[in-house]
């Protein structure tokens, strides 16, 4: 069987040559080990740049809104779910995107790998038979791939994109996670003071670079609330209360929309546990509405619509 990289190249070449798309967005090799970069291909002669491996972490759906071209986009399960939400919210026209679905068994967490190596500089890296072969100045190391994946990948049940136009490779069987919200339940079990202390400590590390917002495929408001000055929603200081408001409001804006792709956590230079709030919102929406974001093109996120029989116990 041809490897996925070769299949992606063939699909991209066919789409471009047949005039079905003007642009294919995928991945190419990065300049450092375990790195890839977004790749923008506009002609059949450029498709050889395209690759696929367990380092293809960027959620490419972030490049779709406000694009007038017809786009073919290489999408993992979480990427495809983000596209579905964007289409449902009318930020992306369905007829202007060809989803090139790629089954995904997890993406490498470079911070995990670096930590296990004692933060030694990695000069070479190869992926082979479920292993990561690493080498640097005076060391060689082999790590199991399954122990080096992002936390978001460990709770991902949609390894095959739920919506696609072309699927490369064979579908990956759905993974049944026995207790997908165990970490949320553990946090909920703490007292209010303990939870406050945890989030205050986590968000005190925030430098307000807004990389989480920029990386998120579903943060596409024309003007973000943090940039508004009339009215000004909160201070621009580095006080913990101002920082907490930004993260809490952003999590609420993503309630019922977040697909848990982990793009925000990967982009954060300070290693903040950004998924904690997002996972809490995902859990609440699932328990209240039985809804998972990005699985159905016809379904609007629960907080974007309403039903007469919606739970309303919060109304006194």
**What pLDDT tens digit does each residue of the chain (316 aa) get?**
359 999 999 999 999 999 999 999 999 999 999 999 999 999 999 999 999 999 999 999 999 998 989 999 999 999 999 999 999 999 999 999 999 999 999 999 999 999 999 999 999 999 988 899 999 998 999 999 999 999 999 889 889 999 999 999 999 887 777 788 999 999 999 999 999 999 999 999 999 999 999 999 999 988 888 888 888 777 777 788 888 889 999 999 999 999 999 999 999 999 999 999 999 999 999 998 899 999 999 888 888 887 777 767 766 5
DSSP bridge pairs for 27: 38, 51
Q: According to the model, what pLDDT value does residue 2 have? A: 59
For 12, list phi and psi in degrees, rounded to 5. -65, -45
Angle of helix 240-253 relative to helix 275-289, nearest 10 degrees?
Answer: 40
The dihedral sign for the CA sequence 79, 80, 86, 89: negative
* Bridge partners for 306 per DSSP: none
Of the candidates 98, 69, 104, 68, which has an alpha carbon nearest to the alpha carbon of residue 83? 98
Torsions phi, psi for 140 (to 5 deg) = -135, 140
- Hey, what are 242's tokens? 């101002």
Integer CA distances (angstroms), 209 to 156, 189, 246, in order: 28, 31, 12
pLDDT of residue 172: 86
Q: What is the pLDDT of residue 103?
A: 95
pLDDT of residue 1: 38
Q: Give the DSSP H or E segment for 124.
A: strand 122-128
Q: How far apart are CA 34 and CA 233, in angstroms?
A: 40
Tokens of 1: 């069987």
CA angle 168, 82, 256 (to 5 degrees): 140
Model pLDDT, residue 315: 67
Coil, helix or strand for 257?
A: coil
| Domain extent listing, the chain | 4-109+149-304, 110-148
How far, rounded to the nearest angstrom, does the alpha carbon of residue 76 sit from its chain's CA centroid? 9
Task: Read off the tokens for 136.
Answer: 């640097």
Q: Is the pTM for the entire model greater than 0.85?
A: yes
Which among 135, 113, 122, 141 has a CA at the least distance from the CA of 54?
Answer: 113
Question: Would you give the distance in Å from CA 228 to the centre of its chain?
Answer: 26
């Amino acid at each position: 069987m041809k490897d996925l990289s070769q299949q992606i190249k063939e699909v991209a070449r066919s789409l471009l040559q047949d005039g079905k798309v003007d642009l294919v967005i995928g991945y190419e090799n990065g300049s450092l080990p375990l790195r890839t970069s977004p790749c923008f291909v506009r002609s059949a002669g450029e498709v050889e740049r395209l690759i696929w491996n367990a380092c293809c972490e960027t959620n490419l759906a972030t490049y779709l809104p406000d694009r007038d071209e017809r786009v073919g986009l290489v999408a993992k399960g979480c990427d495809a779910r983000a596209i579905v939400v964007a289409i449902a919210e009318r930020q992306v026209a369905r007829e202007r995107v060809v989803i090139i679905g790629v089954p995904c068994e997890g993406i490498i967490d470079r911070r995990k790998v670096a930590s296990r190596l004692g933060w030694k500089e990695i000069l070479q890296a190869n992926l082979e038979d479920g292993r990561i072969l690493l080498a640097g100045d005076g060391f060689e190391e082999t790590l199991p791939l399954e122990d080096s994946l992002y936390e978001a990948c460990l709770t991902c049940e949609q390894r095959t994109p739920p919506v696609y136009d072309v699927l490369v490779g064979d579908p990956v069987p759905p993974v049944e996670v026995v207790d997908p919200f165990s970490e949320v339940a553990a946090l909920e079990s703490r007292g209010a003071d303990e939870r406050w202390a945890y989030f205050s400590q986590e968000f005190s590390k925030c430098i307000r670079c807004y990389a989480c917002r920029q990386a998120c495929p579903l943060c596409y408001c024309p003007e973000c609330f943090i940039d508004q000055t009339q009215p000004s929603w909160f201070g621009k200081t580095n006080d913990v209360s101002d920082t907490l408001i930004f993260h809490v409001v952003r999590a609420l804006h993503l309630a019922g929309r977040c697909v848990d792709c982990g793009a925000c956590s990967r982009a954060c230079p300070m290693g903040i546990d950004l998924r904690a709030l997002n996972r809490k919102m995902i859990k609440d929406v699932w328990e209240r509405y039985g809804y998972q974001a990005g699985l159905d093109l016809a379904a609007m996120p629960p907080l974007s619509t309403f039903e007469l029989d919606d739970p309303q116990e919060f109304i006194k």
